Amino acid sequence: MTDTGSRTRTDRVLGGIERVGNRIPEPFVLFVGLFTVLAVVSTGMALAGVQAQVEGADEPTVVRGLFTVEGLRWLTTTLVDNFVGFPPLGTVVVILLAVGIAQSSGLLSALIKRSFSGWPSWALPYAVALVGTVGSVMADSVMIVLPPLAAMVFAAAGRHPVAGLLGAFAAAGAGYSTSMVVTSLDALFAGITSAVTGSLPDPGTPVTPVSNWYFNIASSLVLTVVCGLLITRVLEPRLQRLGVPRQQSESEDGDTLGAVEDVADLTLDDTARRGLRLAGVAALLTAVALLLALPPGAPLRNADGGYLPESPLLDSVVFIVVALLTVPGLVYGRVTGTFRRVRDVPRAMADAVKDMSSFIVLAFVLGQFIALFNWSGVGTWLAVTGAAGLTSLDFTGFGAILAFVLLCSLLNLFIVSGSSMWTIMGAVFVPLFALLGYEPGFTQAAFRIGDSATQILTPLNPYLVIVLAMLRRYEPAAGFGTLISRFLPFTVCFWLAWAGVLAVWFFLDLPFGPGQYARL
């Protein structure tokens, strides 16, 4: 990689971070090493009798070690389950099957051309940022689907595709806990918070999926502007100065995971326009068919006949995404002639996943590590110990809230599951801050910042491995350090801007959602 211009001081600092970060071993070696370290540490803690008392739990969580009789039995009997049960594995494979149909048919390319042909080039970073920050309505799917599409958009508009790729992932990852629309994550967080407030002398305003809605809308808008500015003023100029290629290269090992379809221009011929119209009709009919699940007594309602806080509908996001990619893709391919025979469809699906063998191998190690982290109780001990340390500082004002957010941000580097971390942190801090006069819904809003901003920096985020594979299509030598150096400005600026929104809502006593304020 060579410079195409003089480097700024920021370039030199981030370049140093990149060099240090790229000394992190390859993902497979890294997680084998982390698994070994965790096995040894957990065993030592188990032999020492270390335990953690989660607020509200009947029994303390006792740390368990791998190199014990119980640990060896656990590993030998759950090895396959740890791999198959690794959550992103199924999501990635299933979505890639659908993406394979939509991409091979030409639908994605045509849709991108049609959707963004009227947008001025300067507005694209903000459009991508907006979709990313509200994309949690698609759950984790947004981190797989959006980055390569954003790269296509940027390339077609004559901008650097890597800026679209990384900017979209940063928006989707660092802004994951906020959205302008109510998502399944809102329902999940509200359910966890409500479970904690039941034991409080003054539970405050009931926490519902819309308790943080107003705050989320404002946060989404602010983060969209911040992300768009960072893509335009920081990320893309730095890519130009460093001479990052605009064209994809062929992978040396034949792995095409993360390959992004090239879009030469934004024009469509008559056949493509007709295909898009009919694909749009198919998408509409598919959406209508899904809406048939809404009437009373429909299968996707929960046992109480509703949707919140949990229901089959909220658990069907991946299915909905797959349906809305597959059905229009099939129609478009048939109309345009890219799918002439039935066998063209499974061939397209196979092409999408046949070269992701390296990710499957890595998923095996990742699944074992995350399963051991959860089973051993080390993650619970880290959260409870960190919470106790913050409590001992005896903060009572807004500084305590910021310290709490910072603690969540640090723990998020180790516990990337938001529901898992909120289960632990909420049990400790919701009662603590309630005693200090703060609403549980407000504590939940503060947690969202720490739960999101730093997750694009940790190798424990499995989707970071996927975006690294995408980046290596342009920069074969890229490593974790490359991603960390380019995502760090997003994390810092997102954290500060989001905390600023929290401060405005706190000091002006604005409602975080319907009837939900900061103070009891």
Please say if the pLDDT value at position 80 is more than 90: yes
Question: Tell me, what's the pLDDT at 154?
Answer: 87
Q: Which region among 109-118, 335-344, 448-457 has the lowest average model confidence (pLDDT)?
A: 109-118
Judge whether 416 and 140 are in contact, CB under 8 Å.
Answer: no
Question: Tell me, what's the pLDDT at 225?
Answer: 94
Q: What is the mean pLDDT of residues 41-49?
A: 94
Q: Please give the mean pLDDT across all residues of the chain.
A: 80
Confidence of residue 43 (pLDDT cuts 50, 70, 90): very high
3-state secondary structure 468-498: HHHHCCCCCCCCHHHHHHHHHHHHHHHHHHH
Confidence of residue 162 (pLDDT cuts 50, 70, 90): very high
State CA 135 to chain mean position distance.
9
pLDDT tens sequence across 257-282:
555 555 555 577 889 899 999 999 99
3-state secondary structure 161-221: HHHHHHHHHHHHHHCCCCCCCCCHHHHHHHHHHHHHHCCCCCCCCCCCCCCCHHHHHHHHH
* 63-65-66-72 Cα dihedral, nearest 10 degrees: -100
Question: Tell me, what's the pLDDT at 251?
Answer: 57
Q: Residue 232 is inside which H or E element, if any?
A: none
Question: Tell me, what's the pLDDT at 500?
Answer: 95
Please say if the pLDDT value at position 196 is more than 80: no
Q: What is the mean pLDDT of residues 237-250?
A: 80
Q: Which region among 171-175, 248-252, 400-404 has the lowest average model confidence (pLDDT)?
A: 248-252
Q: What is the mean pLDDT of residues 280-287?
A: 90
Kind of pairing, strands 61-62 and 51-52? antiparallel
Question: Tell me, what's the pLDDT at 407?
Answer: 87
Where is pLDDT greater, at 413 or 253? 413
pLDDT tens sequence across 293-308:
677 777 777 777 766 5
**Structure tokens given for 264:** 């030469």
Question: Tell me, what's the pLDDT at 508?
Answer: 93
Please say if the pLDDT value at position 233 is more than 50: yes
SS3 content of the chain, % helix, strand, coil (to 5): 65, 0, 30
Where is pLDDT greater, at 228 or 5? 228
Q: What is the mean pLDDT of residues 158-165?
A: 90
Question: Tell me, what's the pLDDT at 470?
Answer: 86
Question: Tell me, what's the pLDDT at 2?
Answer: 44
Please say if the pLDDT value at position 483 is more than 70: yes
% of the chain residues with pLDDT over 90: 26
pLDDT tens sequence across 311-325:
777 677 678 878 888
Question: Tell me, what's the pLDDT at 177?
Answer: 80
Please say if the pLDDT value at position 144 is more than 50: yes
Please say if the pLDDT value at position 108 is more than 80: no
pLDDT tens sequence across 350-379:
887 775 666 688 778 878 887 887 788 886
Alpha-carbon span 156 to 160, nearest angstrom? 9
Q: Looking at mean pLDDT, say which of 23-32, 340-349, 431-440 comes out highest.
A: 340-349
Question: Tell me, what's the pLDDT at 4?
Answer: 45
Confidence of residue 180 (pLDDT cuts 50, 70, 90): confident
Going by C-alpha positions, the residue among 260, 259, 475, 257 that lies closest to residue 357 is: 257
